[in-house]
Amino acid sequence: MLVVTNVRQPILEAYIAPLAALDEVAEIVIVRDRADVALGHKVRVTAPPAWWPHTTVTKLVGRAYLLRREVGRVRPHLMMTVHWFPDGPGVLRSARRLGVPVVANIIGGSAELTDGGRRVALSRLPRAFKRWAQGYQRDQLNATAVITCTGGATHNWLRAAGVVEPQVVTLHAALDDAWFRNQIPRDIDLAYVGRADPDKRIDRLLKVLAEVGRRRPSTRVAVVSVAEAELMKYQELSTARAALGKGLNLLGRVDSVSDVLSRAKVLLLTSDTEGRTLAVLEAMACGAVPVVTEVGDLAEALDSGRAGVTVPLRGSEETVVATIADAAIALLHDESRRHALAAHGRDHVRREHDPARTREEWRVVIRHALAPKDGPCASS
């Protein structure tokens, strides 16, 4: 199998490692920008040399070149992407030439298609171009053999958006036993783990933190995976710092996310778009209770409110911020409820995201993808 993606080690461990564990899979080749991941002897990573520049254009050029090179070397039986945009159309073209099927693994929810994909959607390109780009990506996705997504909400959204040809399968990220940790006492009140992309709404996060700090000045906060330089772009940072003082800790990249989450009481996620983000599942496994916006597959991830709190994006921005802050503070003040939600969340993730389940879901995906069919992407 040949996979083109630029996701990091934790996502590859959650999605690709269970695939590699199948006896029927001989080798997986992953095309990435960097060779800084390891997934065992059956997974080979190919990347440009270390000196290759890491701009948006050079990354795209580098992955496209490596895709062509590896297709000639390995002659894969199956090709796939993890995230459809931006590599999906190129993978589909190569697969058509070989006559092999494509699996599109969509883990980012509707953001992978809306307005042509996240990078296009968040750009200043004309609205007419974005509409065209969404139609183009829809047509490309309709030419794949199988699409995997992270839950029912994304499945239904894809169908409503016109992606009606491929089989769509829910694929659960796998979390092994190492994630199920329970640090006592927990000395971090609120944690955030994620990127600073505009649709992740770091501005909203900082407003929530400022509101919590004004009402509960002793709150201890850890922000993970976002560099301080990225946060400095937001004027809301100064307000959050003024409200929380030394309680606001900007940790940036950390060696172990689980070390932070196992000390956290509540995880905040303030995005406009999500799939079933891995950080929420990791937090639940570690015993932190998520308070998240009700987008994508997050309600399903939280077992319809039995493992955390979802806040609808309704009303004004000030209302959304206040509601998220209310929910977080309420959990910090109600330990019995927080412990009950945490216990349910840990059990839910252990059951729903067991690696054995993910391996069986991959078998279903492979069976659908390799089933004989007519058309340019028929299996070989």
The number of domains in the chain is: 2
SS3 309: strand
Which residues, in sequence order, are bridge partners of residue 222? 191, 249
Residue 380 lies in a domain: no
- Asked if residues 206 and 324 have their Cβ atoms less than 8 Å apart, the reply is no
Q: Which residues contact 335 (CB under 8 A, 6 or more apart)?
A: none
CA distance 202 to 193: 11
Cα–chain-centroid distance for residue 336?
A: 30
pLDDT band at 376 (very low <50, low <70, confident <90, very high): very low
Which of 5-9, 162-166, 340-344 has the least mean pLDDT? Answer: 5-9
User: What pLDDT digit, counting tens, does each position of 63-96 carry?
Assistant: 999 999 999 888 899 999 999 988 999 999 999 9
User: What pLDDT digit, counting tens, does each position of 125-149 carry?
Assistant: 999 999 999 999 999 999 999 999 9
Query: Residues 192, 264: one domain?
Result: yes
What average pLDDT does the segment 232-257 reach? 94
CATH number of the structural domain spanning residue 6: 3.40.50.2000
Cα–chain-centroid distance for residue 134?
A: 20
User: What pLDDT digit, counting tens, does each position of 250-294 carry?
Assistant: 999 998 999 999 999 999 999 999 999 999 999 999 999 999 999
Which residues, in sequence order, are bridge partners of residue 193? 224
Query: Residues 214, 309: one domain?
Result: yes
Query: Residues 167, 219: one domain?
Result: no
DSSP 99: T
Q: State which residues form the domain around 18.
A: 2-174+354-370
Query: Residues 156, 12: one domain?
Result: yes
SS3 279: helix
pLDDT exceeds cutoff 60 at 374: no
User: What pLDDT digit, counting tens, does each position of 150-192 carry?
Assistant: 999 999 999 999 999 999 999 999 999 999 977 678 999 999 9
Query: Residues 129, 257: one domain?
Result: no
Name the amino acid, one letter, at 206. Answer: L
φ, ψ for residue 317, nearest 5 deg: -60, -40
For the entire predicted model, the pTM comes to 0.93
What average pLDDT does the segment 338-350 reach? 97
Cα–chain-centroid distance for residue 199?
A: 13
Cα–chain-centroid distance for residue 325?
A: 24
Query: Residues 190, 157: one domain?
Result: no
pLDDT at 378: 39
For 83-120, b/e burial (b = at least 16 CB within 10 A) is bbbbbbbbbbebbeebebbbbbbbbbbbbbbbbbbbeb
